Each structure stands twice: as structure tokens, then as C-alpha cells.
Amino acid sequence: MRYSKKDLKIRVDYNNMMASVIGRSQGITETELDSISSEISKAYNFVAAGSGIGMMGWTKLATGQDDVVEDILATAKQIRRNFEYFVVLGIGGSALGPIAAFKAINHLHYNDLKKSKRKGPKFYVEDNVDPERMAALLDVIEPEKTMFNVVTKSGSTSETMTQYLIINDILVKALGDKARDHIIATTSKSKGNLIKIAAREGYKTFYIPDGVGGRFSELCPVGLLPAAVLGIDIKGLLQGAAFMQEQCESAFVKRNPALMTAALMYLAMTKHGKNISVMMPYADGLQFVADWYAQLWAESLGKNKTLSGHACNVGQTPVKALGVTDQHSQVQLYTEGPFDKVITFLAVDKYRCEVAIPEGCKDIPDVNFLSGHTMNELIKAEQLATEYAVTKAGKLNYTINLPELNEFTLGQLLMLFMMETAYCGALLGIDAFNQPGVEEGKNATYALLGRRGYEDKKAELDNAPKKQNRFII
């Protein structure tokens, strides 16, 4: 499908971050932005120089995957023809990206549609190890009619491999040697446990490039295979991402949307005390993009050491909200609470359908005024009204406008956030692509479950301060 760059270019409106609009007591002045121009240039050059190198391999995903994409499309066609269910076994970026794309592009009640309307298998993502969740999944699928996509780069992710062990056992008992036809592995090509298992068992395999971490993996087979199975135009998704990358090639901050938002967020964090980032989409389809963003922002920027080894403890806590829903649960805090947040609104100009509000309740003007309008007008008015309310209260916010929600605009949005994260990490002087804090928890889990090689960590846990009964009620 061809997409119009002119008509479908997403727009970043940062008026309400600026002192000239929101007031000098909270807003960022143009002088302040100019004062960090050298830091902005260094951040731009750092990201540009690292593009495609090391853990920045994700910057090359929007182009150069032609053969992989064709393989994915052919595999997806076979899956749609032969299977009733498609289940992703994964956690973190392996799950959040596919869920975000699924919810953004597909029917909001996709699994509830008749097969003739779905035109693809029912879709589930098993992204936790709650035993009740696994039992519930097995209650609604038929394993012998299911394709399972096991996604882990290392093949040592305890949660994913637990899911795999359970599902593989079920499949082998039911299907014997044919179990291999129900599992696709998405993993590292050169190292790890899953690639060894896949080779031994004969699984169809897709590869996660070495320079692509989980939270940056939606545009590689991790996200592209599930999307293609669900009928999402993955070429359009990549085209949108490539279009955003084109814009991010500009070293001029006012022409590079990701560089601008990164600079503003950096100033908000370091100079204005804004340690919370609220992501508030005004479209149910974008609800899980906020979930995906939360991992990207938190895991990338929450660090206690700079690249030079100095202690820092930086980062910004992401919070997920949904307009209009959370106007009735969180916006009271955003308008009248502490001045510690930046709110990012995601707005859609044109929804994929229009629902009219019919005439009724003529004797009750407070209800009848809605008649003659549409739900489209109402949600847009709610978004603008909330933006006005928090701006009037002096709370920093900006809006990303999508002309409509489709594969091309979604690709732009995902790449915008990934590039913004890279630039912001460079401005903070930290490694935005590692997650040592996560590793500590993983190692403790391995030790508690008796994994070989973690005896010292087990001893450390055994010697940790014991809980005191007097502090338990």
C-alpha cells in the first residue's frame, strides 16, 4: 500500500512546554533551550555516530530487511491458512511491542469477531508466569490448532522458557514429532539456548539482530511476524519508521522532532524537577502504545551511573493514562497536584469510523445538547479541554497528532519514541541500551530456583536481613 508522506506526517506540538505559552514559572524559555545547543549537538552526533553499531542496530531496521520481510509474509500466510490460534510466548519488549501493534491496527474486539471477519487466527500474548494465566489460556485455545511463537534473544529468560517447557510438553504428548510444526522460535542467530533448541528440534526460526534489545525490537521479526499473521501491513509500518528516521537525520533541532522532544524532556527533568512522564493517548487503539513506551522510557533512562562511571541516579517515571477514561481517575492529580510531571497527549485527527449521537431527551437540555454531534467530536473536545485545563494550571504538556491511526503513522510514532529515548540518554550521559538493574533481579531468581553457577548469589540471599515479625500486621 502507498502512503502519502504529506497527508500522514505526524505532528509534534510543543507549545505548552514553552514559557511564552505556559508561563515563566514552569515553562521552558527559548533562551534556556538555546543555552544547551552544544549539548544537543553532541547528543545528535553521538546517536548519529552510533547508528547501526553495537546496541543501536535497531536504527537500521526500517530499511534493509527485504528478504526477512518476504519470509515473514510467506510464513504468516501459511499460519493464517492452517491455524486457529497464534500465541506469543515472551515477556518485556517481546510481548509489549506485538500487543501495541495488534491493538493499534486491528479491530478492538478482534478475537471476538467471527472467523470470516477476522481473516486470521485468534491472538494471545502469554507475557507472565502467573499460573492462573497459563491455565486460563489453555482453557480458550486448542494447542493442536495453535502456532506458538517463542521469543527470547538469549533463550535463558526464565519466564519465556518456562512457558515454552509447558507448551512443548503439551504438544509432544498430543502430537509427537509433529509438535515441531506448532512452534516458531524468534531468537539470536549466533548464541543462546533457544537457537540450540530450535536447531535440535527443527523449528522454523527467525532471528533477532545482535544490536537489537527487547524494548527496541518491534520492527524486527519479534514484532513483524505477529503483525503479519494478524494482517497488519508490515511494509507500511517500516515505511513509516523510515520516514521518521529521515526527519531525524536533521541536526537542526527545530526540524528533528525526536531531538526536540528529547531536549525538552531533558530540561524538564534536570532543570525543572519533572520526574514523571505521563503518556495519555486519546484513542483506545493507542492504549498499549503507552504500555510499550513505559518500558522503553523506564528501562532505558533509569540508570545510576554515567558512561564515564560517575554516580547519577537519573530517569523519569512513566505513567500510563487513557483519554477520556482517566480524566475521571487521574486528571484531578495532574491539574491540581505537584508540578512534577510532563504530560504527552496522543491525538488522532480522523478516527476510522464515525458514530453519530442521535436526537433524544429534548426535555433535558443538559443531555440534549449532545444530540447532533458525534462521538468523534466529543472525544476531540475532551482532549482539547484536558489540554487546556492542565495548561491553565501551569503543567508542562505537549501533543503528538496523528492524522489517522494506521501502519504508516504507527511506524512513525514508534520510531519517534525510540529516537527520542536515544537522544535523551545521550543528553543524560548514560547508556540507554543496557539494564543492569533488571539483571540483579534475574540473578536472584536464578539463585532462588537453584540454577547452577549462582551459588554465591544464593548465599548472599540467605545472609540478607531477616524479616521481623513486629513489622508484620
Which burial class, exposed, middle or buried, applies to 369 when counting CB atoms under 10 A from its CB (0-12, 13-18, 19+)? exposed
CB distance 229 to 78 below 8 Å: no
Residue with cell 508466569: 129
Of 136, 468, 437, nearest in space to 295 by CA: 437
Residue 343, H or E segment: strand 341-350
CB distance 398 to 258 below 8 Å: no
Helix (H, G, I), strand (E, B), or coil: what is residue 377?
Answer: helix
CA distance linking residue 406 with residue 349, whole number of Å: 12
Cell of 427: 543528553
Q: Within 10 Å of residue 166's Cβ, how many Cβ atoms?
A: 17
C-alpha atoms less than 13 angstroms from C-alpha of 323 in its C-beta half-sphere: 26
Which burial class, exposed, middle or buried, applies to 236 when counting CB atoms under 10 A from its CB (0-12, 13-18, 19+)? buried
Q: Indicate which residues carry an active-site annotation.
A: 299, 328, 442
CB distance 222 to 153 below 8 Å: no
CA distance linking residue 416 with residue 257, whole number of Å: 7
DSSP 3-state helix, strand, coil percentages of the chain (rounded to 5)? 55, 15, 30
Cell of 306: 554515567
